[in-house]
C-alpha cells in the first residue's frame, strides 16, 4: 500500500449549487491538476458500501437523462487510461472487487496522477462532520478549498434545479438547511486544520475576478499559474460523461453556458425566497461577509415575505 503521507489529495468542499463544477473544470485545465467529477468516496468505508448506497441522480434538472452518482470514480479511471496513465494504483482500484477502503482508493488515485495534484469536488462530503474528519486519515498533508456562495443564490438555484419536493416553500426550507449544514460542517472541521492547509474562496469573487482568485488558488496548491484555468469551456475536461447516454456528474446546466458570467455574482439579489433566512443561515453568511440584513434582502426582493408564497 502507498504511504499514508504522500501524495495527498485536495478536497474542494462546498454545499450543492455553489459553483463547484465551474471551479472544478477551471482547475482541470491546469496541466498539473487532475480534477475529475464527483468521486463521492469520503462518506463510505469501502467501495462496495459506496456502490450499494449510490445510484442514478434524482435531481429535477437531471430527469430524462440522469447521471449516476458512482460515475465520478469510473470517469477518473477512464481518463487515466486515455492518458496512458493506468498505473498499478488505478489497476488495484479496478481489480479490488469493492473490498478496497475508500481512503486507500484516495491514496491510490493520488499516487496514480502524481506528480499532478488530485482534487476531489464532491459536495456530498460536507454533509456530515465525521465524513470530513475521515479525510485527515488519508494523509497529514491533505489540503482543503472551501467554496462558498451567498445563501439566497444557493437556495433559489436548488429550488429551481435540484429539489422537487412539496412545492417552493418546502423546497426552500430544505435548501436553506443544506446550505447551512454543509458550511457549518466545513467551518467546524477546518477550525482544527492548520492554516496553510486551508483556503476559502467566494463564488462571487471567482466570477468577478477569475484571474485574481485563480492565481491565489494555484499559489495555494504550490503550482505555477497557467492561463488555461481561465477558459473552462475549452476542451473536454471530463464534462461529457462516461458515455453518450449519461452526462458528467456535477452541474447539469454547465454546458448551457459559454463563458464565465460575472453577472451571476449578483444572482442573490433577485433570488425568489418564500421565507426570510433563518438566524443560523444569516450568522454563517455574515462570517463570509455577505449582505443578509432584513433591509437588504427586502430591498433586493420586494416580493419576499415571511409566509409561504405559491408556485415553484
**Each residue's pLDDT tens digit, 206-234:** 999 999 999 999 999 999 999 999 999 99
Looking at every residue in the chain, the average pLDDT score rounds to 84
Cell of 94: 479496478
- Among 49-53, 97-101, 253-257, 303-307, the least confident range: 303-307
pTM (two decimals): 0.87
Q: CA-to-CA distance for 80 and 143, rounded, in angstroms?
A: 22
**Each residue's pLDDT tens digit, 117-148:** 999 999 999 999 999 999 999 999 999 999 99
Q: CA-to-CA distance for 274 and 251, rounded, in angstroms?
A: 24
Cell of 86: 493506468
Q: How confident is the model at residue 310 (pLDDT cuts 50, 70, 90)?
A: very low
Provide the pLDDT for residue 302: 44
Provide the pLDDT for residue 295: 43
Q: How confident is the model at residue 36 (pLDDT cuts 50, 70, 90)?
A: very high
Q: Are residues 122 and 42 in contact, defined by beta-carbon separation less than 8 angstroms?
A: yes
Provide the pLDDT for residue 298: 44
Q: How far is CA 180 from CA 92, 124, 183, 219, 280, in A?
A: 38, 14, 5, 29, 7
**Each residue's pLDDT tens digit, 47-74:** 999 999 988 776 545 555 567 888 899 8
Phi-psi group of 17: left, alpha or beta (phi > 0 → left; psi -120 to 50 → alpha; rest → beta): left
Q: Are residues 154 and 179 in contact, defined by beta-carbon separation less than 8 angstroms?
A: yes
Q: How many residues in total does the chain contain? A: 312
Where are the chain's structural domains? 10-300
**Each residue's pLDDT tens digit, 259-276:** 899 999 999 998 878 878
| Domain topology for 10-300 | Rossmann fold (3.40.50)
Q: CA-to-CA distance for 215 and 227, rounded, in angstroms?
A: 10
pLDDT above 90 (res 28):
yes
Q: CA-to-CA distance for 38 and 109, rounded, in angstroms?
A: 13
Q: CA-to-CA distance for 290 and 77, rounded, in angstroms?
A: 39
**Each residue's pLDDT tens digit, 168-204:** 678 888 899 999 999 999 999 999 999 999 999 999 9
pLDDT above 60 (res 307):
no
Provide the pLDDT for residue 187: 98
Amino acid at each position: 500500500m502507498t504511504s499514508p503521507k504522500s501524495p495527498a489529495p485536495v478536497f474542494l468542499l462546498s454545499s450543492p449549487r455553489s459553483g463547484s463544477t465551474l471551479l472544478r473544470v477551471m482547475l482541470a485545465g491546469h496541466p498539473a491538476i487532475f480534477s475529475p467529477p464527483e468521486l463521492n468516496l469520503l462518506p463510505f468505508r469501502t467501495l462496495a458500501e459506496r456502490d450499494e448506497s449510490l445510484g442514478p441522480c434524482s435531481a429535477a434538472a437531471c430527469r430524462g437523462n440522469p447521471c449516476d452518482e458512482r460515475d465520478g470514480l469510473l470517469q477518473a479511471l477512464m481518463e487515466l487510461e486515455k492518458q496512458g496513465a493506468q498505473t498499478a494504483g488505478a489497476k488495484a482500484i479496478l481489480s479490488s472487487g469493492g473490498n478496497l477502503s475508500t481512503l486507500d482508493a484516495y491514496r491510490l488515485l493520488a499516487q496514480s496522477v502524481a506528480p499532478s495534484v488530485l482534487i476531489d469536488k464532491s459536495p456530498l462530503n460536507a454533509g456530515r462532520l465525521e465524513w470530513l474528519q475521515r479525510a485527515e486519515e488519508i494523509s497529514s498533508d491533505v489540503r482543503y478549498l472551501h467554496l462558498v456562495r451567498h445563501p439566497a443564490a444557493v437556495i433559489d438555484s436548488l429550488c429551481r434545479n435540484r429539489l422537487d419536493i412539496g412545492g417552493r416553500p418546502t423546497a426552500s426550507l430544505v435548501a436553506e438547511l443544506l446550505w447551512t449544514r454543509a458550511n457549518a460542517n466545513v467551518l467546524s472541521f477546518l477550525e482544527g486544520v492548520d492554516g496553510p492547509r486551508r483556503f476559502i474562496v467566494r463564488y462571487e469573487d471567482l466570477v468577478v475576478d477569475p484571474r485574481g482568485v485563480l492565481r491565489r488558488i494555484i499559489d495555494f496548491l504550490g503550482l505555477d499559474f497557467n492561463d488555461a484555468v481561465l477558459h473552462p469551456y475549452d476542451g473536454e475536461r471530463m464534462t461529457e460523461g462516461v458515455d453518450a447516454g449519461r452526462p458528467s456528474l456535477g452541474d447539469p446546466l454547465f454546458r448551457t453556458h459559454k463563458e464565465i458570467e460575472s453577472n451571476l455574482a449578483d444572482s442573490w439579489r433577485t433570488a425568489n425566497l418564500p421565507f426570510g433566512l433563518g438566524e443560523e443561515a444569516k450568522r454563517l453568511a455574515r462570517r463570509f461577509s455577505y449582505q443578509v440584513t432584513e433591509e437588504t434582502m427586502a430591498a433586493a426582493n420586494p416580493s419576499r415575505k415571511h409566509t409561504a408564497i405559491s408556485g415553484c
